[in-house]
Amino acid sequence: MNETRLEVRGLTKHFPITAGMFRGKVIGHVQAVDDVSFSIDEGETLSLVGESGCGKTTISNLILLLHEPTDGGIFFRGKPLSGISVRERQEYAREVQVVFQDPYGALNPRMRVADIVGEPMDIHGYSAKEKRTAVLDALKAVDLLEGSDSKYPHEFSGGQRQRIGIARALTMNPELIVLDEPVSNLDVSIRSQILNLLKDLQEERGIAYLLISHDMASVEYMSNRIGVMYLGRLVEIGKSEDLIADPLHPYTATLVSAATPTGRTPTWQLPILGEVPSPLDLPKGCAFNTRCPYAMPVCSEVRPEYTEVEAGRKVACHLYPDHINSIDKSLTQSNILDDPVQ
């Protein structure tokens, strides 16, 4: 059985909203992440999907220790990250790496590739010889040509620059890599090459990936499991193939319907309705109730708890377990507008 690399339990992050002359007065909070729990095993890819502002990037920043949680905890190989020493923090920063979305902005244009890729090793005090060996190994692992180490970022294409970003993450021999929209700035033709490279590296090294993305096609290709986020909350989580073929939550159904990644027809297709509400003024009860054609009176009053539909498959929706079999799953944009299901 594979070891659990990362676990988050009840993870919550609220950002203060400030006002006043020096922005010193706190007038409210934005619930960027609200009571989110999941785990990622060795060699596994868990993807977090959802529209902008759903909280997936805040979760990645919490895991990268760029923010402090308001509540809940993050555990790496079973150990809590709260209150860790400076030395433990450095070790964690070695074991958990990140690949950023923008291969153009993420690389310092004034540095040679060897220095960019070896930079994390400088921070962790490796010798020049160790650094040289690791840099050349990493560049080889991402299929960059010999001699690439002495060049500058502008001499490479977008896909090659993303390979440099991946090489930089690999030099530290990480156990977990956060992939923050790693292919969304690349041409479609290049995307599959980068995704295949990431899959190969995972297979060879057993790295766990947390993939943050809004591109369902990439997510389906890469993931073992998918978590769907809506306005800070994880509304559904399950195995990738199950969640895409048979979405449980109405919001998941809208995401899958909008993407239909492999041309398959999911069991539940639903058009996207309306706009995402402001995170400054979240709807009461289920945050999706203002856009959900199946909303019932309870939905605008009571926040739904999770129902475990099967082992590892959870959904936060009042349709479960009693109402799901009595709803019409073949709604279209026009029949919702003609006859709202409220």
321: cis peptide before it, omega within 30°?
yes
Contacts (CB under 6 A) with ligand SF4, residues 290-309: 292, 294-296, 299, 304
- The string over 261-277, giving b where at least 16 C-beta atoms fall within 10 Å of a residue's C-beta and e elsewhere, is eeeeebebbbeebeebb
- Taking contact as CB under 6 A, which single stretch among the options 60-68, 117-125, 240-248, 316-324 is the one that binds ligand SF4? 316-324
CB of 230 to ligand SF4, least distance (A): 9
Cβ–Cβ contacts within 10 Å for residue 278, how many? 11
- Please check whether residue 230 is in contact with residue 198, taking contact to mean a CB–CB distance below 8 angstroms: no
Burial class, 182, CB count within 10 angstroms (exposed 0-12 / middle 13-18 / buried 19+): buried
Burial class, 134, CB count within 10 angstroms (exposed 0-12 / middle 13-18 / buried 19+): buried
Based on the shown chain and the rule CB under 6 A, indicate whether residue 233 belongs to the binding site for ligand SF4: no
Based on the shown chain and the rule CB under 6 A, indicate whether residue 286 belongs to the binding site for ligand SF4: yes
Based on the shown chain and the rule CB under 6 A, indicate whether residue 54 belongs to the binding site for ligand SF4: no
CB of 249 to ligand SF4, least distance (A): 6
Based on the shown chain and the rule CB under 6 A, indicate whether residue 250 belongs to the binding site for ligand SF4: yes
Q: Which two tokens stand for residue 33?
A: 């992440």
Based on the shown chain and the rule CB under 6 A, indicate whether residue 268 belongs to the binding site for ligand SF4: no
- For residue 48, the one-letter residue type is L
Based on the shown chain and the rule CB under 6 A, indicate whether residue 319 belongs to the binding site for ligand SF4: yes
Instruction: State which residue, 54 or 210, has the beta carbon closest to ligand SF4.
Output: 54
Q: What is the DSSP letter of 291?
A: T
CB of 161 to ligand SF4, least distance (A): 40
Own/partner long-range contacts of 126-133 (Cβ < 8 Å, ≥24 apart): 131/171
Instruction: State which residue, 92 or 288, has the beta carbon closest to ligand SF4.
Output: 288
> Cα–Cα distance between 303 and 86 in angstroms, integer?
39
Q: How many CA atoms lie within 13 A of 140 on its CB side?
A: 6
Instruction: State which residue, 92 or 294, has the beta carbon closest to ligand SF4.
Output: 294
- Taking contact as CB under 6 A, which single stretch among the options 151-159, 217-225, 272-280, 315-323 is the one that binds ligand SF4? 315-323
CB of 13 to ligand SF4, least distance (A): 22
Residues that bind ligand SF4 (CB under 6 A): 249-250, 286, 288-289, 292, 294-296, 299, 304, 317-319
